[in-house]
Amino acid sequence: MDTTILGRTGLMVSVMGLGCGGPSRLGQSYERPEAESIRVVECALDLGVNVIDTAEAYRTEEIVGKGIRGVRREDVILSTKKSIMARGEGPASPEALRKGLEESLRRLDTDYVDVYHFHAVHPDQYDYVRNVLVPEAMRLRDEGKLRFIGVTEYFEKDQRHEMLDRALGDDCWDVFMVGFNILNQSAREAVFARAIEQNIGILDMFAVRRAFSRPERLKEILRDLIEAGQVDSADLDMENPLGFVVESGAAESLSEAAYRFCRHEPGMHVVLSGTGSLEHLEENARALNQPPLPEKVHHRLREIFRKADLVTGS
């Protein structure tokens, strides 16, 4: 597995990260036996993936803890997250942040996490997170319970990256988790250009969602973008949208192309891939270890979706 440096953290990371949330949650969303989910983690490590991303909200931290038990702790980059709003309660307090991290450490069976994110922060929550919770995260960092501080956007509601645009004005962030894919490339200008200047580590989520594996869902999304004036219908054959990617021989599947498109974006460090299937895990690892798409295909995808910023690909 190819590796790179995760921005200012200096961490040597695999370009593929195992995402333990998303629709699958390591297969737990489909009621797979825990042992199968643990095996997905173990297999990812065997493939050379060293970034494992989870969160208290995913309910997969214990599985990750069991999956990494057989490797040296320093050989794994653990990323987890704290939810800002508890269900039925107000925003997390500094005390709740501390307790949440301690509980995550217990579930992960470790003394520290490498990256601790504030999870799915809305634009209107940013000031509270920055002014009230970040100082406590810094204290936890000084105590050795976390190494680097990150923030993840709420991409489903913030497709234009308003929260991260504000976060780029502060110097407390080591890592961003960003929504970026073929259908919504707006982070290129809104986030990546400045993140490169500030040497912020970037983890990509939503590289592949339903649109890339379900043709009818892709057509539905494209119709919405055409209606919104963000995609020109003349650029697409709606009978086989994006069929030119595979027909040209650029990739064996649209999902493979989607991973490669994100993997080689300037400023990108780690592309997260979530699955409960060992077969899909291996396919995704092969895709993310391949070279960039041919320039002609890459350019065409950029041109078609250059104005699109209303969808996530889900």
pLDDT value of position 213? 87
pTM of the model: 0.96
Q: How confident is the model at residue 88 (pLDDT cuts 50, 70, 90)?
A: low
pLDDT above 90 (res 89): no
Could you write out the DSSP letters of every residue in 98-116?
HHHHHHHHHHHTSS-EEEE
- The DSSP secondary-structure symbol of 208 reads S
pLDDT value of position 196? 98
Q: Amino acid identity, residue 294?
A: P
Hey, what are 242's tokens? 């994006």
User: What whole-number distance in Å separates Cα of residue 285 and Cα of residue 16?
Assistant: 7
Q: How confident is the model at residue 146 (pLDDT cuts 50, 70, 90)?
A: very high
Given the residues 30, 58, 126, 128, select the one marked as catalytic. Answer: 58
Tell me if residue 58 is catalytic.
yes
User: What whole-number distance in Å separates Cα of residue 114 and Cα of residue 142?
Assistant: 13
Could you write out the DSSP letters of every residue in 238-286?
TTSTTHHHHHTTS-SSHHHHHHHHHHTSTT--EEEE--S-HHHHHHHHH
Residues 6+ apart with CB under 8 A from 298: 261, 292
User: What whole-number distance in Å separates Cα of residue 244 and Cα of residue 293?
Assistant: 12
Could you write out the DSSP letters of every residue in 56-71?
GGGT-HHHHHHHTTTS
pLDDT, mean of residues 111-127: 97
Hey, what are 263's tokens? 């993997």
pLDDT value of position 85? 83
The conformational region for residue 56 under phi > 0 = left, psi -120 to 50 = alpha, else beta, is: alpha
pLDDT, mean of residues 75-82: 98
User: What whole-number distance in Å separates Cα of residue 11 and Cα of residue 305?
Assistant: 32
Summarised one tens digit per residue, pLDDT across range 156-187 is 999 999 999 999 999 999 999 999 999 999 99
Summarised one tens digit per residue, pLDDT across range 225-236 is 999 999 999 999
